[in-house]
Amino acid sequence: MRSVSRDDKDDRVDQDSEDGQVDELPAPVIPVHPDTCVLPGATLHAFTVLDDVLITLAQGPTQWKVQLFERPCPGEDPRPGGQIGEVELSTCTPPAGSLGEPTAPRFLPVLCCASPPGSRAPHGHPWGSGGVTLEGPLFGLLFGSDASLLESPVILCGLPDGQLCCVVLKTLVTSRSAPGDPKSLVKILHHLEEPVVFVGALRTEPLSEDVEDADCDCLVALGHHGRTLAIKAMWDEAGHLVPELREYSLPGPVLCAARGRGGHVYHSTPSDLCVVDLAQEGSPWDLTQHDGAPGGLPSLLCPASLSVCSVVTLSVSSRAPEGGAELLALSAKGRLMTCSLDPCSETPHPARVTSANAGQKIKELLSGIGTVSERVSSLKKAVDQRDKALTCLNEAMNVSCALLSSREGPRPISCTISTSWSRLQLQDMLTATCLLENSSGFSLDRGWALCIQVLRSSQALDLDSAVSAITYTIPVDQLGPGGQREVTLPLGPGEDGALDLPVTVSCALFYSLREVVGGALALTDPFKDPSSNECTPDVLPEQEGVYLPLSEHTVDMLQGLRFPGLAAPHTQALGPVSPARDPVHTFLGTCCGPVSQPAGPASLRAKYLPPSVATIKVSAELLRAALGDRHAGVSLCCATLQWLLAENAAADVVRAQALSSVQGVAPDGTDVHLIIREVAVTDLCPSGPIQAMEIQVESSSLANMCRAHHAIVGRLQRLVMEQAARGSSPPDLRLQYLHQIQANHETLLREVQTLRDRLCTEDEASSCATAQRLLQVYRQLRSPSLLLL
């Protein structure tokens, strides 16, 4: 009731007069201030007013909630006087948002107040504002005798999940501290199985001439997809009053609806605004009917087009001319329209086609045909893509189930990893070959990829270092049953000529959900209602794919050794085993003639210092049991060496020559010597000496010796675990002798700690002797007197 002041208008007129033009006065502006807020809250989604009661519908954490408040009066505090009733509706849980808060529903609920006969809407509320008055028979059939005896209005709630509920207003409790039982207060009338967009009532029977207005005799509810429910009271064959319930199917999706006079219901879709007539066919005053008995509902509803599209909000005005209708509509683009309908134009009749509009009519028909054809093509493309995506998903599910259910025994899809030395770009390179074999009955098509991860020893052995790895992703296209795919990757040495071993190579299959399903979900129908986007790519998980591990292989020093002195004739293609040199340096060295001896640090260490040595003693009985038939025909020393080098590329040459010792070359060019000899261990078993195999590793490089020692220990650990699972037991041992060995090792370990602490505080002259003693202690620790049984 407030607008722009008169002084503001006068200033505006004076300013326009000075400019030489006088415009019309500005339209009245009604400011809305924060103090006019009645009920703040983001959970309120629907409201209506009945007499002195404000009725709201709010979304709670788990259920919808109907609340009653005292209606504020004009001129007073705009906030309601207090809550006078509350009840929770029995419905499904709304979708949860962040931190347990319910998210806003995609479809808003609708409210309608139905009053018993004899009660009229209060003054100031226009006809069609949401409150309806029902006839006595229909009111009693729908809401029961309690509501009729109490003469209480009833709140009708249409929910987004399709439920049509009712609550008798006078049965609600008057205190929030004592909420009523929803089972006794709330009644579910029907379930449309789709979001309810309209609930109302109308008069379907014609009125007599001496009656201006009458109560409604039909309750109507519309769903978003066009399902329509109409309920009316009628007499059955036995003369009893029963409800007649009919369901119709109207074109959807329905955006909004409104009731009109004469049994008309207006409903809007994205492409049209239609009207249907629920009025009774024939005279309601048939003498064959009972006195006061209502008639039946039509068996079929035929919508009539009003040629208005994309109306999102609709209201029927009460100031319509006699026999006509006036609609107030808001379009999807924000256009507010008033539509006046004549009585004869609500039902379309065949119109005479003249030569003036025949061409325009043909253009509209052709345009409509083209639009339909374009939509059919778009939908067909979307259906085809989704069918392909579903087929790929089904195939991926079968592959995943086959791999996950075959953890023991041979796997239907496997990846075998082997290593070998190759000549690449004038440099010897250690390569890993991954052979992917599909032994299943399924095909690996689009979306599948082979992921190979290479983890260096600097990260694999140092627990404190940050994990970093190189991952190669190779798409797998059309790998059918029985197919193979081979991938070769370089492991090193790098540009600095170093290769840190061991290197862990892991293989896995990855199925990209976004690549296969994302495109199908992203397709949308351009002709569809924008508010009905039911499927979006957001349903994909954050991982965006399925990861299925296949195998893991560790490439250690024993696999990286080369044996140029044992190379077979067909393997002589490799170049020199020394690290690659710059071609310019090689050319200059040739021109200057031969040199006497290289003077590098590695050569000096190999010439003047003894090699680093480590030994491991293993029971001969343990090796015989573990190797089984593999040592048949050869000595146990040769069989042990063949077992240690089984994963090396030169394993066949070592096996053919029956060697018990071999000298190899590490990736950096230094020598590594492996010696297997048979020894007898005394003073350990009371029954006599124990036959054992002594595995000795020698190298001028301490780092390479440690890497080879680490590889041998890893193999022996796996061997002992396998034999322990078979239940083998060691012989009787002298525990006092073992205790003495353990005490000696603890003494050496304490000395190591003392020497390392001393190195941090001594000067350069004193630290030389400390370092030599530290190396001697390390050498004693690498050659223990213990025996692996």
- The whole-angstrom separation of Cα 250 and Cα 300 is 10
Question: How many Cα atoms occupy the beta-carbon half-sphere of 560 within 13 Å?
Answer: 31
The answer to whether the CB of 243 falls within 8 A of the CB of 297 is no
Taking only the tens place, the pLDDT of each residue in 362-381 is: 877 787 787 788 878 888 88
- Cα-flanking dihedrals φ and ψ of residue 38, to 5°? -90, -55
- If you average pLDDT over residues 438-454, what whole number do you get? 90
- The whole-angstrom separation of Cα 263 and Cα 279 is 5
Q: Is 265 helix (H, G, I), strand (E, B) or coil?
A: strand
Taking only the tens place, the pLDDT of each residue in 672-694 is: 999 999 999 888 888 888 899 99
- Length of the chain, please? 789
pLDDT of 594 over the 50 cut: no
Tell me the DSSP string of 526-593. TTS-GGG----GGGS-TT-EEEEEEEEEEE-HHHH-B-GGG--GGGTTS--SSPP--HHHHHHHHHH-
- If you average pLDDT over residues 187-207, what whole number do you get? 90
pLDDT of 699 reads: 93
Instruction: Please give the DSSP secondary-structure letter assigned to residue 514.
Output: I
pLDDT of 11 over the 70 cut: no
Q: How many CB atoms lie within 10 A of CB 674?
A: 24
pLDDT above 90: percentage of residues in the chain: 27
- If you average pLDDT over residues 763-783, what whole number do you get? 85
- Please name the residue that has the structure tokens 């710059």: 582
Taking only the tens place, the pLDDT of each residue in 616-664 is: 999 998 899 888 877 778 899 999 999 999 998 888 888 888 889 999 9
Please, what is the average pLDDT of the chain?
78
The answer to whether the CB of 165 falls within 8 A of the CB of 197 is no
**Full-model pTM:** 0.52
pLDDT of 123 reads: 39
pLDDT of 423 reads: 84
Element (H, E) at 227: strand 227-235
Task: Report residue 318 as tokens.
Answer: 């009460």
- The whole-angstrom separation of Cα 528 and Cα 74 is 44
CATH T-level fold of 360-522+544-555: Immunoglobulin-like (2.60.40)
pLDDT of 590 reads: 56
Beta strands across the sheet bearing 690-699: 612-619, 690-699, 671-681, 661-665
